[in-house]
């Protein structure tokens, strides 16, 4: 694209621009250093613009990205023509700050800027912490899909209608049924909008140029006091405690006080130290003096707005306030971004076109959103992700395919429903007609990979073993029951399941992740456990089967479920006389707590009934069963309680 020039209003020096997309932004005169709004020159100026010779190398103009009022320009093949430019702000309304030197390119990455002072590795440690959690959540996402069939074998995704009647809830959504969607939008558009949300995309306001990956979440919802949030946190322990501590370090406040947290990763070139910018939006306004004290920084007034320096971090208080004029937003960035922080308020930094395009499809109200490039997960994985998580994240990158350019994964809790969504954008060289089929084929291969993983994991605890044993089946069920389609060249997957399944899925994910790490660290032990032969035959008598050792571990397990587990493991029919228990004041939901490890089932049964004076068991060999009843009812029925200690 041929360039053109804009004259400086002060010294009339020519400012050469490579593209008209930069009109409306802030430029800096290379001669007198005046900052002014780049505006379309008149006809005479345009005719004279071609006459001057090319400027020497290194004298290219500096520019600042678009103002918040203007949406980011997305140069993709499928993007619609850009909207007309908004009227430019008056120069006197623009703060007088230095413009960063940014190379305008198709894929904008952070320049190899000079680091101030010695090169420190402390930043990389916290980036690993953040992105490590990101990697774990990516894995959780895969496991979410695989486990979705536990609670929702038939998924029906509700999608929004274009023009619903104001007071007719039945017309507000239209279901997906057998691959057919009713509504004015295309199937892909309906899937993109299928998850409830605000409709407002995630933006890079306050973020300097160079974003390579975006993590956006709502900590206050996850760390809230609701029963669902508490259950989800507990099921993710110890990860939830670890993540809460890291978020508090970044956000300068407990996670339950943070409404939104946006983390922008600046990856740079291979081998460069990854860095991050965090935009923290609090639930309620904070006293400015308290914020400054928490930052423990030194105020610097050499920029357009005050910036607070604290070690290798720079902090900026945003321009959003509550009704009492208390700040709501704080931005944290590496100290050498200090000059760019004030600029990013009025002109958010540019990211690569693929990231900008994917951000336009996001919804900032989602509980968690991840946007990134598939290649970055593969190339920068060792610098971003802890070693124990790296293989799983690489598997995720391979699953979405080498022809995938960018991706978006998000989670949402809405009412009593739990949603997951995956959006994939193919690279420009991918065959659009074959890409969707190839991605689906790669996802279909995951159950076999999970089956291989399953064969290597054999934890001694039966509960863990049962979850891992079903993983391939769960994932395959998700593939057949989830809804997927295309929008343009994008491939979209949507699943929906009851919210009650979220903590169960999270717990299963953590257990599987932990066991995979253990197996990797103890390969010989894991193989030995996996190859341990099982008992080929069972005794004929009920009492002899009950004497066989089984894994005993109950954590507030209801009485009925505890006996059901013993029955399943011992291959014995166990019946509970509910009327007998009720007559003695017992219930089937009485919690059982014990950890015996490998022990005879009779030991567990005896430990259970010893807690209740009136309870007993009767082994009936003629009926091939064991009856759980009370001593008085057994006597009335002519039954003799069985002494399990013999």
Higher pLDDT, 565 or 384: 565
- Per-residue b or e along 140-171, where b marks 16 or more CB atoms closer than 10 Å to that residue's CB: bbbbbbbbbbbebeebebbbbbeeeeeeeeee
Domains of the chain: 126-156+203-257+268-275+347-523 (no CATH), 158-193 (no CATH), 542-636 (3.55.50.30)
What confidence tier does 499 reach under pLDDT thresholds 50, 70, 90?
low
> Each residue of 604-614: pLDDT tens digit?
999 999 999 99
Distance CA 330, CA 346 (A): 15
The pLDDT > 90 percentage for the chain reads 25
Res. 531 pLDDT band, cuts 50 70 90: low
pLDDT band at 75 (very low <50, low <70, confident <90, very high): very low
pLDDT of residue 464: 63
Average pLDDT over residues 596-606: 92
Name the most confidently modeled range: 90-99, 249-258, 372-381: 249-258
Q: pTM here? A: 0.55
What's the pLDDT score for residue 380? 74
pLDDT value at 174 more than 50:
no
Distance CA 500, CA 504 (A): 7
Higher pLDDT, 338 or 152: 338
Residue 553 region by backbone torsions, left for phi larger than 0, else alpha for psi between -120 and 50, else beta: beta
pLDDT tens for residues 33-65?
A: 676 777 776 544 333 344 444 444 444 444 444
pLDDT of 410 > 80? The answer is yes
pLDDT of residue 511: 64
Query: Above 80 in pLDDT, residue 388?
Result: no
> How large is the average pLDDT for residues 343-358?
86
CA-atom Rg of the chain in angstroms: 31
C-alpha–C-alpha distance, residues 244 and 338, integer Å: 27
pLDDT above 70 covers a percentage of the chain that reads 59
Task: Report which of residues 153 and 489 the model is more confident about.
Answer: 489
pLDDT at 483: 78
For the segment 331-359, the average pLDDT, to the nearest whole number, is 89
Least Cα distance to 333 among 312, 307, 308, 313 occurs for: 313
Q: Looking at 31-45, 156-170, 182-196, which range is the least confident one?
A: 156-170
Bridge partners of 328, per DSSP, are none
Q: Is the pLDDT of residue 274 over 60?
A: yes
Distance of alpha carbon 494 from alpha carbon 175, whole angstroms: 13
Q: How many CB atoms lie within 10 A of CB 22?
A: 20
List pLDDT tens digits, range 559-594.
998 999 999 889 899 999 988 999 999 998 899 999
Question: What is the rounded average pLDDT of the residues 105-132?
Answer: 40
Decide which of 39 and 136 is more confident.
39
* Secondary structure (DSSP) of 164-230: --TT-GGGTEEEEETTEE-SSS-HHHHHHT-S----PPP--TTPPS-B-EEEEE-HHHHTSSSHHHH
Of 290 and 507, more confident: 290
Instruction: Kindly state the helix (H) or strand (E) to which residue 412 belongs, with its residue range.
Output: strand 404-414
- Give the pLDDT score at 10: 80
Closest CA to 467 of 508, 515, 429, 412: 508
220-255 residue pLDDT tens: 998 888 877 787 777 777 777 888 888 999 999 999
d(CA 356, CA 354): 6
Contact status, residue 592 vs residue 559, Cβ threshold 8 Å: yes
Confidence category of residue 127, pLDDT binned at 50, 70, 90: very low
**Residue-level pLDDT at 435:** 81
Between the ranges 29-33, 95-99, 263-267, 453-457, where is the mean pLDDT highest? 263-267
Would you state the pLDDT for residue 489? 80
What pLDDT score does 283 carry? 93
How does residue 472 score in pLDDT terms, banded at 50, 70 and 90? low
Q: What is the mean pLDDT of residues 4-25?
A: 73
Query: How many CA within 13 A on the CB side of residue 530?
Result: 18
Q: What is the pLDDT of residues 475-487, one digit of tens each?
A: 665 566 567 778 8
* CA 497 to chain CA mean position, Å: 17
User: 318-322, 392-396, 424-428 — which one is most confidently predicted on average?
Assistant: 318-322
Assess whether pLDDT exceeds 80 at residue 312.
Answer: yes
pLDDT at 438 over 50: yes
Least confident of 15-24, 192-201, 419-428: 15-24
């Amino acid at each position: 694209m041929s360039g053109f020039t804009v004259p400086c209003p002060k010294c009339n020096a020519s400012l050469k621009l490579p593209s008209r997309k930069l009109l409306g932004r802030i430029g800096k005169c290379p001669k007198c250093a005046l900052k002014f709004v780049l505006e379309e020159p008149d006809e005479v100026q345009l005719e004279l613009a071609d006459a001057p010779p090319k400027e020497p190398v290194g004298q290219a103009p500096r520019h600042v990205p678009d103002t918040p009022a203007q949406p980011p320009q997305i140069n993709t093949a499928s993007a619609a023509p850009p909207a007309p430019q908004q009227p430019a702000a008056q120069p006197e309304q623009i703060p007088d700050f230095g413009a960063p030197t940014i190379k305008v390119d198709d894929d904008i990455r952070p320049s190899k800027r000079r680091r101030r002072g010695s090169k420190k590795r402390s930043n990389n440690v916290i980036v690993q912490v953040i992105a490590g959690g990101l990697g774990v959540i990516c894995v959780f996402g895969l496991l979410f899909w695989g486990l979705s069939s536990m609670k929702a074998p038939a998924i029906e995704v509700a999608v929004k209608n274009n023009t619903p009647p104001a007071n007719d809830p039945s017309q507000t959504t239209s279901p997906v049924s057998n691959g057919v969607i009713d509504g004015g939008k295309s199937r892909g558009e309906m899937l993109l909008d299928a998850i409830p949300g605000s409709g407002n995309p995630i933006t890079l306001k306050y973020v300097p140029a160079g974003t390579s990956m975006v993590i956006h979440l709502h900590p206050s919802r996850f760390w809230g006091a609701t029963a669902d949030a508490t259950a989800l946190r507990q099921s993710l322990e110890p990860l939830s405690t670890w993540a809460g501590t890291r978020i508090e370090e970044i956000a300068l406040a407990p996670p339950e006080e943070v409404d939104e947290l946006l983390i922008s990763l600046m990856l740079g070139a291979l081998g460069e130290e990854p860095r991050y910018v965090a935009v923290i939006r609090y639930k309620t306004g904070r006293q400015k003096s308290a914020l400054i004290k928490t930052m423990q920084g030194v105020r610097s007034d050499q920029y357009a707005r005050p910036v607070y320096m604290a070690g290798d971090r720079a902090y900026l208080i945003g321009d959003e306030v509550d009704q009492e004029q208390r700040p709501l937003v704080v931005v944290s960035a590496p100290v050498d971004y200090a000059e760019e922080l004030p600029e990013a308020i009025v002109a958010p930094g540019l990211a690569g076109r693929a990231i900008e395009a994917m951000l336009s499809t996001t919804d900032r109200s989602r509980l968690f959103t991840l946007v990134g490039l598939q290649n970055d997960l593969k190339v920068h994985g060792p610098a971003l992700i802890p070693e124990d998580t790296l293989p799983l994240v690489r598997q995720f990158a391979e699953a979405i395919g080498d022809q995938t350019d960018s991706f978006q994964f998000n989670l949402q809790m809405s009412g009593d429903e739990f949603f997951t969504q995956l959006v994939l954008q193919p690279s420009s060289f991918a065959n659009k007609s074959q890409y969707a089929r190839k991605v689906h084929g790669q996802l279909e291969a995951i159950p076999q990979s999970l089956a291989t993983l399953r064969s290597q994991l054999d934890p001694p605890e039966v509960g863990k073993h049962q979850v891992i044993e079903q993983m391939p089946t769960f994932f395959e069920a998700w593939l057949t029951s989830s809804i997927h389609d295309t929008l343009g060249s994008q491939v979209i997957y949507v699943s929906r399941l009851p919210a009650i399944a979220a903590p169960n899925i999270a717990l299963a994910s953590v257990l599987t992740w932990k066991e995979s790490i253990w197996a990797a660290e103890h390969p010989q032990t894991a193989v030995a456990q996996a190859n341990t032969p099982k008992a080929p035959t069972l005794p004929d008598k009920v009492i002899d089967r009950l004497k066989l050792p089984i894994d005993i571990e109950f954590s507030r397990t209801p009485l009925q479920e505890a006996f059901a587990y013993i029955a399943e493991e011992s291959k014995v029919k166990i019946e509970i006389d509910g009327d007998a228990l009720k007559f003695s004041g017992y219930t089937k939901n009485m919690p059982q707590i014990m950890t015996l490890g490998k022990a005879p089932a009779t030991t567990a049964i005896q430990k259970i009934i010893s807690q209740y004076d009136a309870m007993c068991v009767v082994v009936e060999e003629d009926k091939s069963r064991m009856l759980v009843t009370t001593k008085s009812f057994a006597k009335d029925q002519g039954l003799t309680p069985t002494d399990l200690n013999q």
